[in-house]
């Protein structure tokens, strides 16, 4: 079974703090994704990576950055957390660039910024 | 641009049928359907490809109208376990693996 794990299920941070969300997959997948999930807005892509050290902006990259130093690990960084970044963050991975690839999701991190 | 799903929410009794629609403003290579149960990660259900190929779930079916850039998910004889939020994800190119997800449809099946 494919396993995607995220470092925390729940996280509470203060405004202005630097926040790191970690994601690890164990299936040697090429692609990894970070989404933000908000009620009524669905899953919105923040960033994705198609190879180590390669990344591409998604639909809502502002206020976020990412790092992928190893194939299995993809980190989402909030440089200076703000209250409007309070949300559920989901990581996903898929095997390659084909349009038929299934995305496997982690359990999510619910981040609250106070 | 996000695909638009309809309805936003639906409540059913066990055994009833439901249809969830997904409409895109762009040409599509494939449509992917996922279900997310409360407190859990989204899980893959089905892929529909340009040209008519389908891969996925045994008890859930779907259609893909390439010309209309629309897909529909058919849930027949619904069971309690079908409850959750359904997302369609669209791929316009077929070569990046990147999906744009709709806003979700919440389905509640009651006994």
pLDDT tens digits, B59-99 = 788 989 888 899 999 998 899 999 999 999 998 776 777 89
Contact criterion met (CB < 8 Å) for A43 and B87: yes
pLDDT at position A81 over 70: yes
Q: Average the pLDDT over A37-49 and give the result.
A: 94
Is the Cβ of B40 closer than 8 Å to some Cβ of chain A?
yes
pLDDT-based confidence at residue B57 (cuts at 50, 70, 90): low
Q: Average the pLDDT over A70-97 and give the result.
A: 94
Contact criterion met (CB < 8 Å) for B87 and A42: yes
Identify all chain A residues contacting B49, using CB atoms and an 8 Å cutoff. Answer: 99-100
pLDDT at position B50 over 80: no
Residue entry with tokens 């496997």: A104
From the list A40, A99, A102, the residue facing B44 with the nearest CB is A102
From the list B55, B95, B103, the residue facing A42 with the nearest CB is B103
pLDDT at position A83 over 70: yes
From the list B40, B41, B97, the residue facing A97 with the nearest CB is B97
Instruction: Estimate the share of chain B in helix, then strand, then coil, as percent rounded to the nearest 5.
Output: 5, 55, 45
Is the Cβ of B9 closer than 8 Å to some Cβ of chain A?
no
Instruction: Report residue A89: phi and psi, to 5°.
Output: -115, 125
For B96, left (φ over 0), alpha (ψ -120 to 50), or beta?
A: alpha
Q: What pLDDT, on a 0 to 100 scale, did the predictor assign at position B68?
A: 86
Contact criterion met (CB < 8 Å) for B94 and A94: no
Instruction: Give me the total of CB pairs closer than 8 Å, taking one residue from chain A and one from chain B.
Output: 75
Cis ω for the linkage preceding B7 (within 30 of 0): yes
Contact criterion met (CB < 8 Å) for A99 and B30: yes
Q: In sequence order, what are the beta bridge partners of A65?
A: A77
**Rounded percentage of chain A residues whose pLDDT exceeds 70:** 95
Identify all chain A residues contacting B54, using CB atoms and an 8 Å cutoff. Answer: none
Cα of A13 to nearest chain B Cα, Å: 21
pLDDT-based confidence at residue A53 (cuts at 50, 70, 90): confident
Q: What pLDDT, on a 0 to 100 scale, did the predictor assign at position A97?
A: 61
Q: What pLDDT, on a 0 to 100 scale, did the predictor assign at position B54?
A: 65
Q: What pLDDT, on a 0 to 100 scale, did the predictor assign at position B67?
A: 87
């Amino acid at each position: 079974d494919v396993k995607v794990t995220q470092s925390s299920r729940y996280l509470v941070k203060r405004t202005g703090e630097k926040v790191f969300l970690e994601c690890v997959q164990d299936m040697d997948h090429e692609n990894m994704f970070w989404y933000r999930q908000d009620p009524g807005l669905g899953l919105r892509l923040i960033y994705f990576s198609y190879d180590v050290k390669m990344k591409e902006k998604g639909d809502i990259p502002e206020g976020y950055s990412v790092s992928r130093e190893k194939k299995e690990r993809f980190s989402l960084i909030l440089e200076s957390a703000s209250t409007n970044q309070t949300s559920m963050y989901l990581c996903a991975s898929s095997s390659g660039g084909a349009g038929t690839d299934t995305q496997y999701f982690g359990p999510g991190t619910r981040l609250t910024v106070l | 641009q996000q695909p638009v799903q309809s309805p936003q929410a639906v409540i059913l009794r066990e055994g009833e049928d439901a249809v969830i629609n997904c409409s895109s403003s762009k040409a599509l290579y494939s449509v992917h359907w996922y279900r997310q149960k409360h407190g859990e990660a989204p899980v893959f259900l089905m892929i529909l490809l340009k040209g008519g190929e389908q891969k996925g779930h045994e008890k859930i079916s779907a259609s893909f109208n390439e010309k209309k850039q629309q897909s529909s998910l058919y849930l027949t004889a619904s069971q309690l376990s079908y409850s959750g939020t359904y997302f369609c994800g669209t791929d316009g190119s077929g070569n990046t693996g990147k999906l744009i997800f709709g806003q979700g449809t919440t389905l509640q099946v009651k006994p």
